[in-house]
Amino acid sequence: MKLGRFIVDTHVHAQRHAAGPELKKEGGVQQSQKKIPYRDLAKIMPKLQTYDNSERLLYDMECYDVDMCILCSAFGMNNEINVQLVEKYPDKFRALCRAKETADKAQAGEIEWTMEAACEEIDRLLATGKFVGIGEGMPANSDNARTKKTYSHSQRMDELRLVMNVARKHQVPVRVHTGSPGGYPINYTFWPENWHPYWIHDLATEYPDVTIVFDHGGMQGGNMENLVDECIQVAANHDNVYLETGLYWTELYYKALLNPNVGPEKLIWGTDWGASQPTYTHIGAHPQTYTFQVRSEGIVTHQVDIMGWSLKQVSRLDISQDDLNLILGGNALRIYKINFPLTRMFKPVSL
């Protein structure tokens, strides 16, 4: 049985990195090498070419009765492929935008990366009407690790306010990244807000008319719940803050649902499909399965079945079907202003 009336995966990467040739060029990775370290891929990811991986995505959507996906760009992924997919499958896809041109020029040494330049690019992209939001995450300078630049709280917050201004102008949601997958050596200075969900209290207060979505809702990998707890608290304090929950195991859903200022109205399903987030099984532990990149096992090369795992976690929720319909699609339709052919199919939400 299909789990909801209309199911929207709000965090999907329909592009895949063509890493093999670049890895060989950089460090002599041999064809026979079975395990490629995450650190090797992290070094080259910003300059990799990506290709359309939607054939596998469409297969999984059909397999698990997922009606629509919100396409996100991540490191090295571009806006153009996502727009092409939206135009080819208008009933299945919508796209978010990111400032890739600015990032590429900075990476090539043609310009110095600034948030002003990134916001100008996002402004131009949103003006086309081809995108429904900004993300994954807020724009950031991928070169900070090399230059060893460390942000102060105030410096980064001033940058984030520039993005919020653009979102307000175009009346679209923004995404703030949270959590770590475990494998990549994540640099703190790239996304400092990633580790400080409480910073978003200020943005949510200053921009009450701009919808903010916590990518991963504090849980991108592992089994530590500290960032989840912080994200839930921020969402509970602000009507315009939502939690993406696709990497939650069942008990984390209950944790958010137990907060009367969060509830099903503030949860949106999104799996990070396409990001090669393996599901780790730890027999006898709690949780027994969760997403986690195990460095000793190397990069995952197959198409991880994250939709199947995530929907299994959702299926264990003993809540009303109307509440489940909000989490799986109704909230996403409202947040991203996606037309639905029938009225009164989703529980009304007043925040």
Return the HEC string of 315-333. HCCCCCHHHHHHHHHHHHH
Q: Summarize the confidence of residues 117-135 as an average pLDDT.
A: 98
Residue 317 pLDDT > 50: yes
Q: Is the pLDDT of residue 180 over 80?
A: yes
pTM here is 0.94
What sign has the CA pseudo-torsion 304, 305, 311, 313? negative
How does DSSP classify residue 278? P
Domains of the chain are: 8-335 (3.20.20.140)
Mean confidence (pLDDT) of the chain: 92
Kindly state the average pLDDT of the residues 295-311.
91
* Alpha helices for 150-284 (secondary structure H): 153-170, 200-206, 226-237, 250-257
Region 169-192: mean pLDDT is 89
Nearest to 83 by CA among 138, 18, 129: 129
Whether the per-residue pLDDT at 129 is higher than 90: the answer is yes
Average pLDDT over residues 250-264: 98
Least confident interval from 29-38, 135-144, 248-257, 328-337:
29-38
**Coil, strand, or helix at residue 25?**
helix
Question: H helices then E strands: how many in the chain?
Answer: 14, 11
Q: Which residue has the higher pLDDT, 143 or 108?
A: 108
Whether the predicted pLDDT of 101 surpasses 90? yes
For residue 62, pLDDT over 80 is answered with: yes
Which residues have CB under 8 Å from 236's CB, separation 6+? Answer: 259, 261, 262
Q: Cα–Cα distance between 132 and 152 in angstroms, integer?
A: 30
